Chains A and B, each alone.
Chain A
Amino acid sequence: MIYVIDGSLESLLCAVFEWFERKPGKIMLQLEKYYQPDAFTTEFHVYKDRKKADRVWTGLKKKLDRGWMRRFYCTFLSESAQAYSSLFEFTCYIFSNPAGSEGNYGNAHVLAVAQTARKVEREKHRMEAFIRFQHSADGIFYCVIDPDFNVLPLIMNHFKNRYADQQWIIYDLKRHYGLYYNLEKAEEVNLTPEEEKNLQKTTGELHAIKENLYATLWKDYFKSTNIAARKNTKLHVQHVPKRYWKYLTEKMDT
């Protein structure tokens, strides 16, 4: 039996609902976009139903504390097919066992959810660290990223609290959406491909002289705070993996 979902949180929760209603035994969860029909297994398309999803969500909230609800959400944001089935199995396991079962790290699904959530949290933390704003002529601080996981919803509050008195845009190039804070609230924005390209330009008219000065000062600082006698490239790369370098001011050529 294969359950096909469209990848939204709602469809995932509905899949859990349907499973408990039908009790088909062991099933496989597949995403619509990767799904290839197969001659020998029966398929079941999960239709989204807000009510059913809400019932599962409230049920889950009763069973899990805030920390675990966050882990659930983080794992969902990892967007991997494997994570969806882990979440499905995890939810079924939680509902069919007494309270407190989420502590059973010996269970493969519990552990998978905990570990995936950790990866997403790590990426979130990295984004809080590695985002480098540039001050544009129109007064907005902007920055582009392409994180491994969909972490924008997780970092929104952090940046909103921190930069409460400046306008900023953080744009995810991989997922083609961003956050824009207008001094009142942060909201989702979508740009056209043309605008996206403009956002990535770091030189020219978009860039004030002052901006170059601070970039240079930051690069200078990065160099002079290094102790050459202790050089440890392996450790450096471990902390700042190369895939993030392209957006780091201190790693850009002058």
Chain B
Amino acid sequence: MSERIREKLNILADAAKYDVSCSSSGGTRKNDNKGLGDSHASGICHTYTEDGRCVSLLKILLTNHCIYDCAFCVSRKSNDIERAAFTVEEVVSLTINFYRRNFIEGLFLSSGIFKNADFTMERLLKVVKKLRLEERFNGYIHLKTIPGASEELIREAGLYADRMSINLEMPTEKGLKLLAPEKSHEDVKRPLGFVQNQIVQFNDEKKLIKSTPKFVPAGQSTQMVIGATPETDKDIMHTADAFYKNFSLKRVYYSGYIPISHDNRLPLIGTQPPLIRENRLYQTDWLMRFYGFNVNELLNDANPHLDVDIDPKLSWALRNLQFFPIDINVAAYKMILRIPGIGVSSAKKIVQARKFGKLRIDQLKKIGVAYNRAKHFIKCADTPYQLKDYQGTQIKSFILAESQSKYLKNDVQQLILF
């Protein structure tokens, strides 16, 4: 008995690991029925795997049997791997017992499609219903919406789940058609839009009737695979931006493709996953969501790719030196946010602190500004007078000479003649 459950967990956790999302934030379920669990608004990462990714949810597939044959997926029909399926009780008991020992924040449940979409969705629904109603579980539940499932099922699932998500898989329709001819972006947009509408409706009702139940309180997310098909960073981020805007997504995840197949449409097995690129995309995502950048400022026809050696904020600053230097003692908060080396919390502290007197370099350093980087772009009370204006390329080489990239082991910097 215990051997079989170990085996199943190994197979189905292994198959689920390519889903990047593991966030447990935004849940607001309170433990007011003396049951088990209480969602923490900020989410908690209970541990981190050896690849440095957070483990906050028990992330498993209900089954890895699948009727689809998507080239980028380990669970594709034509792949010769071990198959397994959990029963509803097994998932519930695993979740409850892990949760009681404080191993996890909740459950992330996805599934291969067996028989058809409705049948799969029904099984997923059974698990969450049992957890919420029978076990009085108030922990976090992230549920995959199965594209093509009926609206009634999706709506019911939304009443019990905290977050729902559907993966876009490839950043463009063209890429998706190449690797998974049976799928399309339209299939994803329809349920995303449906859930989004329901969220808005429930929120409106909530304003009038206080007892309206929660509906997907932590919102929706999606995921794109990066580097399997030849899209530019501009394509990727413009797609992400459109999805953030049209479907009010909480998160878009970017997952560097890890070669798992000998398919000649895909990178070879053994190719390094594009980790730097993934990192730069996340940085861009953050700049869009928290730093007030428009996607067109960071990626446009003139700059379709993000720089690999420097982060997107620095590269924007170097392209737009006309805005700098910014005097941090007078500039608006949103301009301070744009200075490389200053993050959101430092910017907030600066705006507060400067009411009490002009800030000096030593104070900035203590507040937490990465001064060696920021110094090329700011003016403060005791900035030394500088006779010469440096070019963007020069500033870049100063910064690169001082910083140690965690990715670039050997120096790839080009010689600069002038």
Contacts and interface: CB of A to CB of B under 8 A. Distances in A.
Interface in B1-47: 2, 5-6, 9-10, 13-14, 16-18, 30-31, 34-38, 40, 44-47
B182 interface: no
**What secondary structure prevails in chain A residues at the interface with B?**
helix
A240 B47 CA distance: 7
Interface residues of B, number: 58
Contacts of B413: none
Given A111-B366, A131-B102, A103 B9 contact: no
B36 A163 contact: yes
A130 interface: yes
Contact of A217 (B6, B14, B45): B6
Interface in B181-208: none
A141 B100 contact: yes
Given A141-B100, A214-B101, A220-B6, A103 B35 contact: no
Nearest to B5: A217
Contacts of A128: 40, 44
Contacts of A202: none
A192 interface: no
B258 interface: yes
B14 A224 contact: yes
Interface stretch (A4-12, A38-46, A132-140): A132-140
Interface stretch (B220-228, B237-245, B304-312, B348-356): B348-356
A214 B97 contact: yes
Contacts of B384: none
A143 B100 CA distance: 12
B402 interface: no
> Taking each of A166, A236, A249, which has the highest tally of chain B beta carbons within 10 Å of its own beta carbon?
A236
Interface in A213-244: 213-214, 216-218, 220-222, 224-236, 238-240
Interface string A80-112: 000000000000000000000101111110010
Given A104-B352, A166-B36, A222 B49 contact: yes
B50 A218 contact: no
12 contacts: A104-B355, A106-B353, A106-B356, A111-B366, A131-B102, A132-B103, A133-B101, A163-B36, A217-B98, A224-B10, A226-B49, A227-B51
Interface of A: 101, 103-108, 111, 125, 128-135, 141, 143, 158, 161-166, 213-214, 216-218, 220-222, 224-236, 238-240, 248-250
